[in-house]
């Protein structure tokens, strides 16, 4: 059954070979998209095609295959540029993932621009990857970290955020969508207020890009990062977007091949953007396949994906709320398709193991967001995160699985 | 299928997790340690009270799953009255039983037999062993031990 008559759910599910795998004889019900999404044939095949027909090192050789691989990789950069609506393809830096993107900015921009007493603003919602790199640079520079609180629903408190901003604020680094709770942060307002104080903004877009169209120019955001593997692309590849003027002014992050202009032992000059930040041979096939993932998503259309996932979230929320034993953690009014919850007296790990026995894959634990867990005074939660190929029937399977947990722990 | 899941969640395990034995602070502890599983955020504190060479008392506080709480509960029951050497031998035996390639041979009255179900659930073995590793650290006698399993 489809959530609306026109969403081609049957065809979409056929695009993902893993969805026809059985788990202990039962169909895989994959509700762990927030951790990593499955891959459509278009992406899987693109990796094979790259290695079979157009592979060599990029930006190196004069030979045919090198040129072909370079063209395919640079075409993917243009796709990523269009995907984020960046002004220029030079503003798209390929990195290993969002984690590397954040480390790059914290390290390169941070070392050049932060000094003792400067302030970095984060929020309670952050994934550890948007906390630890800032703590590391704060330790090196003497900068101070300020943390925006959330309320009991998991909503980002914009008024509290505004109070934390000051002329000392140099950068605000917050998530676009909370990975643990699904909360959508009011990023346009976050950016406007930061810019009014002269601070830059980095957004962690990992959980946003699979669900929401992102326009970095309309947002006027300074840095935006996301990981390919959550966007139905390969793991080990991600994107850092940065405004050209900022990237130009930043020192390189890693030294090596590809990022240089001229090397002598006396002095090295660096390559132009984006290559200044892409030292070493990149994940060529991964970049090309990420381009294929973007094409695939565009083929379905973000409006259709968002509507489908919103329906799943509403349906799942409604069904879980109706279960007395389930407590939903994170009930912000603006949410992406992530449902974090606990079952009375049953530890999430036990829930996860029992659901897994029915082929239902959920994430259990702290979701690399321990400050969020502490905020709600829980050690962990169960998290169901929906993707474009999930169905209402799979929500029903989750509900049945929760009933079995209750029976076992009765 | 359900039968296998019941191997993990045996009634005795569920009973220990619902009503753990020896749960709570041991004021007169001679050693204590904290165990932490950063993968899931679970925490356990184990307290031991030694009288000479003998474990006079053992208690624990845990924030964890049914398996880790049941394991801690059963462990403290077993350890009480043992000598330090016997306790270390029990720790080694339990480790081997859970991680050996071949199915372990258990004595008929081995109270830990109920925990052998985790052998079929590799991601959950650490849940069962965390209290034991923590106990081992507590035996070392300082109160600043902290151990981590992942």
pLDDT, averaged across chain B: 87
Q: Residue A317: CB partners within 8 Å, gap ≥ 6?
A: A328, A339
- The answer, for A403 touching chain B at a CB cutoff of 8 Å, is no
Residues of A whose CB is below 8 A from B13: none
**Which runs of consecutive H residues, i.e. helices, occur in A60-118?**
64-84, 98-104, 110-113
Q: Find out whether B114 and B13 touch, Cβ atoms under 8 Å.
A: yes
pTM of the predicted model as reported, rounded to 2 decimal places? 0.92
Convert the pLDDT of each residue in A278-337 to its tens digit: 999 999 999 999 999 999 999 999 999 999 999 999 999 999 999 999 999 999 999 999
* A368 is annotated as an active-site residue: yes
Contact between B67 and A366 using a beta-carbon 8 Å cutoff: no
Per-residue pLDDT at B123: 84
Residues of B whose CB is below 8 A from A357: 1-2, 4-5
Residue A1 has pLDDT above 80, yes or no: no
Residue A153 has pLDDT above 50, yes or no: yes
Residues of A whose CB is below 8 A from B67: 349-350
pLDDT, averaged across chain A: 95
Q: What is the ipTM of this complex?
A: 0.84
Contact between A349 and B9 using a beta-carbon 8 Å cutoff: no
Residue A128 has pLDDT above 60, yes or no: yes
- pLDDT bucket at A379, cuts 50 / 70 / 90: confident
Per-residue pLDDT at B2: 47
Per-residue pLDDT at B104: 82
Convert the pLDDT of each residue in A190-217 to its tens digit: 999 999 999 999 999 999 999 999 999 9
CA–CA–CA angle A93, A75, A247 (5° rounding): 20
Rounded to 5 degrees, φ, ψ at A231 are: -105, 30
Lowest mean pLDDT among A132-136, B54-58, B107-111: B107-111
Is A218 buried (19+), middle (13-18) or exposed (0-12) by CB count in 10 A? exposed
Q: Residue A403: CB partners within 8 Å, gap ≥ 6?
A: A323
Contact between A365 and B40 using a beta-carbon 8 Å cutoff: yes
Helix (H) / strand (E) element for A120: namely: strand A119-123
| Pairing between β-strand A260-263 and β-strand A238-242 as defined by DSSP bridges | unpaired
- pLDDT bucket at B142, cuts 50 / 70 / 90: very low
The full 3-state SS of A336-393, as one line of letters, equals CCEEEEEECCECHHHHHHHHHHCCEECEEECCCCHHHHHHCCCCCEEEEECCCCCCHH
- The answer, for B61 touching chain A at a CB cutoff of 8 Å, is no
Q: Residue A318: CB partners within 8 Å, gap ≥ 6?
A: none
Residues of B whose CB is below 8 A from A25: 1
Per-residue pLDDT at A150: 98
Nearest to A257 by CA among A237, A240, A282: A282
Convert the pLDDT of each residue in B42-88 to its tens digit: 889 999 999 999 999 999 999 889 999 999 999 999 999 999 999 99
Per-residue pLDDT at A168: 98
Helices and strands, counts by H and E, chain B: 5, 4
Contact between A379 and B9 using a beta-carbon 8 Å cutoff: no
Per-residue pLDDT at A3: 47
* Mean pLDDT of all residues in B97-102: 88
Q: Residue A399: CB partners within 8 Å, gap ≥ 6?
A: A319, A320, A323
Convert the pLDDT of each residue in A87-112 to its tens digit: 999 999 999 999 999 999 999 999 99
Contact between A357 and B67 using a beta-carbon 8 Å cutoff: no
- The answer, for B12 touching chain A at a CB cutoff of 8 Å, is no
Catalytic residue among A31, A184, A187, A368: A368
Dihedral angle sign, alpha carbons of residues A146, A152, A156, A162: negative
Nearest to A365 by CA among A131, A147, A127: A127
- The answer, for B124 touching chain A at a CB cutoff of 8 Å, is yes
Residue B3 has pLDDT above 80, yes or no: no
- The answer, for B41 touching chain A at a CB cutoff of 8 Å, is yes
Residue B144 has pLDDT above 50, yes or no: no
Residue A341 has pLDDT above 80, yes or no: yes
Contact between A25 and B1 using a beta-carbon 8 Å cutoff: yes
Residue A2 has pLDDT above 80, yes or no: no
- The answer, for B77 touching chain A at a CB cutoff of 8 Å, is no
Q: Find out whether B99 and B132 touch, Cβ atoms under 8 Å.
A: no
Residues of B whose CB is below 8 A from A409: 9, 14, 66
Distance CA A103, CA A134 (A): 8
Contact between B4 and A357 using a beta-carbon 8 Å cutoff: yes
Distance CA A206, CA A188 (A): 17
């Amino acid at each position: 059954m489809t959530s609306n008559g026109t969403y081609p759910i049957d065809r979409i599910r056929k695009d993902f070979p893993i969805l026809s795998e059985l788990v202990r004889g039962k169909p895989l019900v994959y509700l762990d998209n927030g951790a990593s999404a499955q891959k459509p044939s278009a992406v899987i095949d693109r990796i094979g095609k790259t290695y079979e027909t157009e592979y060599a090192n990029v930006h190196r050789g004069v030979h045919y295959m090198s040129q072909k691989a370079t063209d395919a990789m640079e075409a993917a950069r243009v796709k990523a540029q269009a995907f984020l609506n960046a002004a220029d393809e030079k503003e798209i830096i390929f990195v290993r993932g969002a984690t590397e993107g954040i480390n790059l900015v914290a390290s390169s921009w941070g070392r050049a621009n932060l000094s003792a007493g400067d302030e970095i603003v984060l929020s309670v919602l952050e994934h550890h990857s948007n906390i630890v790199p800032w703590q590391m640079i704060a330790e090196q520079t003497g900068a101070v970290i300020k943390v925006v609180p959330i309320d009991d629903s998991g909503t980002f408190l914009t008024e509290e955020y505004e109070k934390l901003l000051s002329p000392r604020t140099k950068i605000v680094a917050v998530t676009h969508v909370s990975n643990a709770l699904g909360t959508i942060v009011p990023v346009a307002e976050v950016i406007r207020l930061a810019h009014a104080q002269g601070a830059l903004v980095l957004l962690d877009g990992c959980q946003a890009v699979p669900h929401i169209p992102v326009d970095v120019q309309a947002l006027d955001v300074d840095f935006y990062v996301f990981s390919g593997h959550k966007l139905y692309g390969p793991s080990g590849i991600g994107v850092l977007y940065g405004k050209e003027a900022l990237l130009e002014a930043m020192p390189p992050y890693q030294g090596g091949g590809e990022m240089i202009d001229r090397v002598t032992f006396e002095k090295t000059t660096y390559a132009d953007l984006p290559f200044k930040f892409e030292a070493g041979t990149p994940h060529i096939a991964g970049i090309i396949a990420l381009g294929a993932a973007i094409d695939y998503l565009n083929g379905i259309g973000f409006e259709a994906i968002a509507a489908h996932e919103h329906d799943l979230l509403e349906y799942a929320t409604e069904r879980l709320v109706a279960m007395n034993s389930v407590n939903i953690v994170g009930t912000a009014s603006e949410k992406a398709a992530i449902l974090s919850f606990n079952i009375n007296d049953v530890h999430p790990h036990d829930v996860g193991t029992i659901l897994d026995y029915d082929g239902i894959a959920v994430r259990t634990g702290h979701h690399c967001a321990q400050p969020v867990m502490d905020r709600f005074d829980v050690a962990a939660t169960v998290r169901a995160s929906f993707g474009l190929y999930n169905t209402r029937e799979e929500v029903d399977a989750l509900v049945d699985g929760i009933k079995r947990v209750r029976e076992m722990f009765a | 299928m359900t039968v296998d899941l019941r191997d993990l969640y045996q009634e005795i395990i569920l009973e220990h997790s619902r009503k753990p034995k020896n749960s709570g602070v041991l004021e007169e502890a001679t050693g204590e340690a904290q165990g932490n599983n950063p993968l899931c955020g679970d925490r356990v504190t184990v307290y031991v009270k030694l009288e000479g060479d003998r474990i006079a008392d053992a208690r624990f506080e845990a924030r964890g799953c049914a398996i880790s709480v049941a394991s801690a509960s059963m462990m403290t029951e077993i350890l009480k009255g043992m000598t330090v050497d016997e306790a270390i031998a029990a720790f080694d035996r339990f480790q081997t039983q859970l991680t050996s390639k071949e199915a372990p041979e258990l004595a008929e009255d081995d109270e830990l037999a109920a925990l052998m179900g985790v052998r079929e659930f590799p991601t959950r073995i650490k849940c069962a062993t965390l209290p034991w590793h923590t106990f081992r650290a507590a035996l070392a006698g300082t109160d600043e031990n902290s151990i981590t399993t992942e």
